[in-house]
Structure 1
Amino acid sequence: MAWNEPGNNDKDPWKNKGGKNQGPPDLDDLFKELGQKFGGVFGGGKSSSNNSGNNFSGVVFALAFIIATVAYLFSCVYTINEAERGIKLRFGEYVGVVEPGLSWKWTFIEHIIPIDVQSTRNLPASGFMLTQDENVVHVEMQVQYRIDNARDYVFNVTNPDDSLSQALDSALRYVVGHAKMDDILTSGREMVRQSVWEELEKIISTYNLGLIIVDVNFKDARPPNEVKDAFDDAIAAQEDEVRYLREAEAYARGIEPRARGRVKRLEQEANAYKAQVLLDAEGEVAKFNKLLPEYQAAKEVTRQRMYIATMEKVYSNTSKVMVDVDGGNNMMYLPLDKIMQQQNNNQRPTSQVNSTSSSNNRPASNTTISSSGRTDRFSDGRN
Structure 2
Amino acid sequence: SGLMLTGDQNIVNVQFSVAYQVSDPSAYLFDVSDPDGMLRQVAESAMREAVGRRPAQDIFRDDRQGIAASVREIIQTTLDGYKAGLNVNAVSIEDAAPPREVADAFDEVQRAEQDEDKFVEQANQYSNQKLGQARGEAAQIREDAAAYKNRVVQEAEGEAQRFISVYDEYAKAPDVTRKRLYLETMEKVLKDSSKVIVEQGNGQGVVPYLPLPALQPKAPAPAAPSGVTGGNQ
TM-score, normalisation: structure 1? 0.48
Q: Which of residues 136, 159, 170 in structure 1 aligns to 2:11?
A: 136
Q: Which of residues 220, 225, 242 in structure 1 aligns to 2:95?
A: 220
Q: Tell me the residue number matched to 2:67.
A: 192
Q: Deviations over 1:336-370 (max 9, x none)?
A: xxxxxxxxxxxxxxxxxxxxxxxxxxxxx449xxx
Q: CA deviation at 1:183?
A: 2.1
Give the share of equivalent positions with the same residue, in percent: 31
Q: Tell me the residue number matched to 1:238.
A: 113
Q: CA deviation at 1:250?
A: 4.4
SS of corresponding position for 1:325: coil
Q: Tell me the residue number matched to 2:40.
A: 165
Backbone CA RMSD of aligned residues: 2.8
Contact 1:136 1:223 in 2 (8 A): yes
Q: Tell me the residue number matched to 1:153.
A: 28
Contact 1:146 1:213 in 2 (8 A): yes
SS of corresponding position for 1:324: coil
Q: Deviations over 1:106-147 (max 9, x none)?
A: xxxxxxxxxxxxxxxxxxxx1211222222222221111111
Contact 1:184 1:192 in 2 (8 A): yes
Higher strand share: 1
Q: Which runs of 5+ in 2 are unaligned?
A: 199-209, 221-233
Q: Tell me the residue number matched to 1:210.
A: 85
Question: Residues of 1 paired with 2:36 and 2:111: CA distance?
Answer: 40
Distance 1:128 1:250, change over 3 A: same
Q: CA deviation at 1:264?
A: 3.1
Q: CA deviation at 1:217?
A: 0.7
Letter in 2 for 1:285: A
Q: Tell me the residue number matched to 2:195.
A: 324
1:301 aligns with 2:179: yes
Higher helix share: 2
Question: Residues of 2 paired with 1:333 and 1:205: CA distance?
Answer: 121
Q: CA deviation at 1:230?
A: 1.2
Q: Which has the higher contact order (CA 8 A, sep 6+)?
A: 2
Distance 1:174 1:333, change over 3 A: farther
Q: CA deviation at 1:191?
A: 1.8
- The equivalences for 1:350-361 within 5 A come to none
Question: Residues of 2 paired with 1:249 and 1:226: CA distance?
Answer: 37
Q: Tell me the residue number matched to 1:278.
A: 153
- The equivalences for 1:16-35 within 5 A come to none
Distance 1:239 1:228, change over 3 A: same
Distance 1:308 1:131, change over 3 A: same
Q: Tell me the residue number matched to 2:231.
A: none
SS of corresponding position for 1:322: coil
Contact 1:143 1:216 in 2 (8 A): yes
- Which structure is larger by alpha-carbon Rg, 1 or 2? 1
Q: CA deviation at 1:225?
A: 2.1
Q: Tell me the residue number matched to 2:202.
A: none
Contact 1:322 1:333 in 2 (8 A): no
Q: CA deviation at 1:252?
A: 5.0
SS of corresponding position for 1:134: coil
Q: Tell me the residue number matched to 1:264.
A: 139
